[in-house]
Structure 1
């Protein structure tokens, strides 16, 4: 759910404008002649084995699933939770949830800068802890503190993805890096963006679900210890 569109546009107009902007961005990218023109390797079992046998890949994929759960999974059920359990007006929660997604642009840039300066391991650990604590707060507090947690949680969550995807490419050989990333994204979305909100909605215990998910995020910090130091150096 997003902020209400300007009068006369409607929700169909929002989708229309977004689609046109996406097509324009694609055309601009093609005409700019930026980026690599090399073709990636096809997704067959022989090529998947180039990185599937690396334990670090599965560790990072697990972290990616958890981060998608904290981002997309929470976002999918958050408006319903705020309306049903906290009785927030629909217009207010639409605006709050919509604006909370805008702050992610600044946090992504900041996370990349800090990762270059301090290393990705400590930055990812800090992001996971901060995001998980905010997720627990969403399920336990109310009033102004709840609104602050709802506003800050997505900004912290979105900053996790660039560094994680960069680390995933370092687990595969150069010719298989495109395949490692292209498989990790749909897998994480199916589990974190599909299974997580479906489980939340089926159970109906929104507050408890946020608390459990936040605790899983805190526990996932220990997975970073399983990553080899070579990935840190190559990032």
Structure 2
């Protein structure tokens, strides 16, 4: 009898511990989702502030557009180094370090008017942000069983789309009442609170990432499909982050929108993207990943071209283009996971995304805004749309994947 009671008690304790672990995993997931939102928001909310930077700092479109290039360069370097960093200090400390670094970089940005220092702080924002995502993915993977990871990552991936939605509205609603410096300082408080909360309640998965093998990078770099995927992801990022970065300035300087009108319209147009990414996953599974990528890039490119047309077509394109653009990533990551020999697939994402982010999130906005200095803003966006649409045909040259 006593033995049965002992067994029953042990079973209850095990169940309680399982619930406790589950509850803590959910708390950690929502903390990571909030941190990812702040991480992404901090990198993109300078886009709706770009016209204000130009006016107050007396910059040209091209000079202001270089800010995105510096962010992307910092992000590129820290993503490449993230495996080494997490192998030394662990994933939890990597996440905390990332958030603290972003907060300090934004604080420095809000205190200076020197262009060289401003560019350096944007570089530091990107450098701080890049260590987060690999550690977050590793943490979520270790906290949830395989059959729950899809839902866990779906919750986590809501953060970028929420940032795209809220960043323009944040600027539109507060810029009439606050200076751009004050708008930059406000997120710092949330970043530091997020650091503290994750330090207290975030899960330390207690795993170390093995240091990457340089020989695997050499093998991957010789694989043709890898180079095609870098180009495809560059175009995918161009159609989302790249166009988003320059769109407020384009609407204001070319089409005569006020800052409030442009940012509210851009923010509202991102609301449907919250469900579009999920729909894109079903679309990719139904048509096949290569076909889905080709169709999405082609249609997204056409909508980007329509951004250069009259007001009626412009409004349609503003709403439809981001919906199509976000559908690239479910198919893109699914196909990317099968690129190269099995021993290189662990580093495929860590090498593809940094390169694509520099091109699509840094170089392309810089080129578009530079052309805008010569009165070719609409032409630059139209050419970008043609490039995105043409990229859809690159999937025909791939060897791997359906």
**Alignment TM-score, normalising by the size of structure 1:** 0.84
Indicate whether 1:218 and 2:386 are aligned: no
Q: Deviations over 1:152-181 (max 9, x none)?
A: 212211221232122122113444323211
Gaps of 5+ in 2: 1-47, 49-167
Q: Please, what is the CA RMSD of the aligned residues?
A: 2.8
| Counterpart Cα distance in 2 of 1:203 and 1:52 | 32
* Alignment counterpart, residue 109 of structure 1, candidates 278, 286, 289: 278
Over alpha carbons, which structure has the higher Rg?
Answer: 2
For the residue of structure 1 that corresponds to 2:235, the secondary structure is helix
SS in 2 for 1:31: coil
Distance 1:114 1:29 in 2: 37
**1:120 shift after superposition:** 0.9
Residue 248 (structure 2) aligns with: 79
After superposition, residues 116-127 of structure 1 pair within 5 angstroms as: 116-127=285-296
Deviation at 1:55, TM superposition (A): 0.7
Partner of 2:135: none
**Among residues 202, 209, 212, which one is paired with 2:380 in the alignment?**
209
Offset of residue 214 of structure 1? 1.1
Q: How many residues align?
A: 227
The residue that corresponds to 1:167 in the other structure is 335
1:60-209 matches, cutoff 5 A: 60-139=229-308, 141-204=309-372, 205-209=376-380
- Report deviation, 1:219: 1.4
Structure 1's unaligned 5+ residue stretches are: none
Give the direction of change, closer, same or farther, for the CA distance of 1:106–1:51 in structure 2 (3 Å limit): same
Query: 1:12 Cα deviation (Å)?
Result: 4.2
User: Alpha carbons of 1:103 and 1:28: their partners in 2 closer, same or farther (altered >3 Å)?
Assistant: farther
Q: Select the structure with the greater relative contact order (CA < 8 A; seq sep ≥ 6).
A: 1
Cα distance, 1:42 vs structure 2: 1.0
